[in-house]
Amino acid sequence: MISFDCLFLKMKNAISVDLEDWFCANNFDDVLGYNKWDSLELRLRESTAKILEILSKQRVRATFFVLGYIAERAPDLIKEIKSAGHEIASHGYKHQKISTLTEDQFDDDLKKSVRAIKGACGVSPVGYRAASFSITQKTKWALKILSKNGFKYDSSMFPTSFHPSYGAKLASLNIEKIDGIVEVPLSVVKFINLRIPFSGGAYFRILPYWLTKQFIKKINRTGRPYIFYIHPWELDTGQPKIRLSFLKRFRHYFNIPKTKNRLERLLNDFEFTNINEVIKLGQK
């Protein structure tokens, strides 16, 4: 008899890394703005190396959404990621929420990120993820600008209203084409009338692993792949501790010592590949 667990292993889920350093997180916007970044310690090489090692052991190729600023400061790291066979995508340049930008400002930031990434590794990215998942019902205009700039897919919409600063609660849960670009929404699980987020990041660190595992099985049963994301700083146990509000401090620092082990378990329990490959598999 074939177990249900074996069936879940046949589903290709998507793993992505938002390649930014600890000080780039939007939790620090009010205390460590972009104008201070150059003076801060770049720590992501070691934590990214841990992620690359885990991916290599499991023979998994991920999508790395590279911040243009990081591409300029650490071009050798971007080359290393590309050489390991991972997909290189864009995370914008300054990690600015689209809701704070005009259309022209967004277009400029996008182009600057592409130049930085191409300069670092020779790749013109076709995938994009906005800072703080800030493509919502109000900022869907960004999709047309992405398409105009040659992007093929976006993974910025988070179909939930649980988070205080983002969420496209009316967005589809499915991968589908919108305004000429494929939208790959972050994963939520439906419970009665709620859409519970569990796609990665703080959700992955806060929720018990057994619950995340059950949620993945639940959406895989519907035929939807799990779209997972993580940041290198979530494996960095030695990063500076910055004074924040209780909620922001909790979201940023909680359970960081457990992230590496949980990531290893996740890749052992389910099959993963990069986002572009998941889109292609869904179109067959």
Global pTM reads: 0.94
Walk along the chain (284 residues) and give the pLDDT tens digit of each residue.
333 344 445 789 999 999 999 999 988 988 998 999 999 999 999 999 999 999 999 999 999 999 999 999 999 999 999 999 999 999 999 999 999 999 999 999 999 999 999 999 999 999 999 999 999 989 999 999 999 999 999 999 998 866 555 666 667 889 999 988 999 999 999 888 888 899 999 999 999 999 999 999 999 999 999 999 999 999 999 999 999 999 999 999 999 999 999 999 999 999 999 999 999 877 55
Do the beta carbons of residue 239 and residue 40 sit within 8 Å?
no
- Please check whether residue 21 is in contact with residue 43, taking contact to mean a CB–CB distance below 8 angstroms: yes
- Quick one: 4-283 is in which CATH superfamily? Glycoside hydrolase/deacetylase (3.20.20.370)
Q: Where does residue 59 fall: left (phi above 0), alpha (psi -120 to 50 degrees), or beta otherwise?
A: left
d(CA 239, CA 106): 30
Single out the residue of 259, 222, 251 nearest to residue 132, CA to CA: 251
Structural tokens at position 40: 């801060």
Closest to 183 measured CA to CA, from 114, 137, 218, 221: 137
Residue type, 244: L
Find where tokens 């619950």 sit.
Answer: 211
